[in-house]
Amino acid sequence: MRAIKTLFSLIAICLSSLLMSPTSHATALEADYIVAVVGDTVITRNELRSRLEVVLKQLTKQGTPLPPQEDLERQMLERMIMETAQFAYARESGLRIDDTQLDQAIGRIAASNQMTLAQFRSTLEKDGIHYPSFREEIRGEMIMARLREREVESRLVISESEIDNYLANEGAQGNDEYHIAHILLRAPESASPEQLLKLRQRGEQALTKARSGENFAELTAAYSDAQDALQGGDIGWRRLNGLPTLYAETVARLQPGQISDLLRSSAGFHIIKLIDKRGGNQPTSVRQTRARHILIRTNEVTSEAEARHRLETVRERIVNGMDFAEQARIFSQDGSAAKGGELGWLNPGDTVPDFERAMDALQPGEVSAIVQSPFGMHLIQVLERRDRDVTDERQRMTARQVIRERKLEIAYQDWLRQLRDRTYVENRLEKEL
């Protein structure tokens, strides 16, 4: 029973608007029409209705009071618009998740719930979840995660001077952790004064309701444009210095249960609720990995299949005794090629998740199978590992991670807003409402 509960908790996080079950197909018999146009893709009323059915079940199961149907429809359609825009951009830029990667990801979800893949599938189907649709939803979540890694995370630059400044001014802060939830009302990049005024009024309306005691999770479902809106806007536990500056400065002044004023940022308007606070523990040692890799980039010229084939040939040579470093100098399309693919000593979080997960599974001296990341196809070899009880180094590493977390959410929201603004969108539901 505990495993089953964990399973559906995980699904709720990964699939914030799960998929329609086979019984939902009956809805398709109702009159259908287009409610939004996104680029060259349309979203129909029945597609929106099917997504809403599942979300309503999810909110009911969580015990979240339901927001007005009109508000929930508006929020769900905006979410579908953003998903469609991201999928279109991924498709145009050649980002794909093949069936092998998808099966591996679903296998990890099943294993984390102590189930075989067959047991996992059976459990989903018993709960009325259409398994082929579930697979495609997971594929979609992976594509959006890869987009975030490639378009936002990989482009964040953290300078040594930023780290020095952080350590001088904030490094001595306590390690207390804060559990917060938020509402984001996203503003268009070039919003007019009239649009900002309308958005501010909507934010003030949400704030008034929150402070009058209305359920915050219900309000996020009705008002928030953030990706976590259907999870109650729950950001989870964060250290104060791991939050965006605006959030950190605000949360520091709140007591558990309190709600902030309406806040303004470049992304739009925000409302923050401090749910709880606790003391945090800082790790005393770090597991570091010294590794090297060979990268073949995928793009319009080099397909995933071609890159994979080239690397399989290289891997076979290495397994048969050829020098990894020499092969990296010849074939790798990464800046580390001149150093034989050497990446030096890596701390947790230094590489993108797909790369780090594969690297962590290797024994020293072992060469990985082909690993796909947002940058292309990799071969990875772990040279050695060590546990370091560091002081200054750990402080700088922690500072880098904190600054990265702080900048990431702001950068991601900016990227989403820019993508939304440059995508042709016709929201016909707004005209209905």
The predicted-structure confidence for 307-333, as pLDDT tens digits, reads as follows: 999 999 999 999 999 999 999 999 999
Residue 10 pLDDT exceeds 80: no
Both tokens assigned to 354: 């797909």
C-alpha–C-alpha distance, residues 166 and 397, integer Å = 12
> Is there a domain that residue 158 lies in?
no
> Is there a domain that residue 274 lies in?
yes
Residue 221 pLDDT exceeds 50: yes
Residue 11 pLDDT exceeds 70: no
C-alpha–C-alpha distance, residues 274 and 268, integer Å = 20
Residue 336 pLDDT exceeds 60: yes
Q: Which of 294, 288, 311, 289 is nearest to 382 (CA)?
A: 289
C-alpha–C-alpha distance, residues 78 and 166, integer Å = 37
> Is there a domain that residue 156 lies in?
no
C-alpha–C-alpha distance, residues 233 and 270, integer Å = 11
Mean pLDDT of 383-389: 86
Instruction: Tell me: do 9 and 128 sit in the same domain.
Output: yes
pLDDT at 89: 93
Instruction: Tell me: do 204 and 136 sit in the same domain.
Output: no
> Is there a domain that residue 248 lies in?
yes
C-alpha–C-alpha distance, residues 408 and 145, integer Å = 13
| Residue that terminates a domain, selected from 117, 151, 185 | 151
Q: Which of 269, 277, 225 is nearest to 251 (CA)?
A: 277
Number of domains into which the chain is organized: 3
What letter represents residue 11's amino acid? I
> Is there a domain that residue 297 lies in?
yes
Instruction: Tell me: do 177 and 267 sit in the same domain.
Output: yes
Instruction: Tell me: do 383 and 406 sit in the same domain.
Output: no
pLDDT at 15: 43
Mean pLDDT of 258-273: 93
> Is there a domain that residue 109 lies in?
yes
Query: Over the chain, what is the mean pLDDT?
Result: 84
Mean pLDDT of 343-362: 89
Count CB-CB contacts under 10 A for residue 156: 12
**Is the model's pTM score more than 0.75?**
no
Instruction: Tell me: do 292 and 317 sit in the same domain.
Output: yes
Range of the domain at 267: 173-282+395-432
Indicate the range of 46-55, 320-329, 364-373, 414-423 predicted with least confidence.
46-55
- Decide: 175 and 281 in contact? Cβ < 8 Å: yes
Instruction: Tell me: do 230 and 316 sit in the same domain.
Output: no
What letter represents residue 410's amino acid? I
Instruction: Tell me: do 377 and 400 sit in the same domain.
Output: no
Q: What is the three-class DSSP state of 263?
A: strand
Both tokens assigned to 38: 């996104």
Instruction: Tell me: do 263 and 356 sit in the same domain.
Output: no
> Is there a domain that residue 159 lies in?
no
Instruction: Tell me: do 272 and 414 sit in the same domain.
Output: yes
Q: Which residue has the higher pLDDT, 70 or 378?
A: 378
> Is there a domain that residue 219 lies in?
yes
pLDDT at 26: 40
Q: What is the three-class DSSP state of 320?
A: coil
C-alpha–C-alpha distance, residues 274 and 283, integer Å = 25
Instruction: Tell me: do 217 and 325 sit in the same domain.
Output: no
Question: Is 342 exposed, middle or buried, given 0-12, 13-18 or 19+ CB atoms closer than 10 A?
Answer: middle
Supply the CATH number for residue 93's domain: 1.10.4030.10
C-alpha–C-alpha distance, residues 118 and 124, integer Å = 10
Instruction: Tell me: do 192 and 338 sit in the same domain.
Output: no
Instruction: Tell me: do 382 and 411 sit in the same domain.
Output: no
Confidence of residue 358 (pLDDT cuts 50, 70, 90): very high
C-alpha–C-alpha distance, residues 91 and 289, integer Å = 34
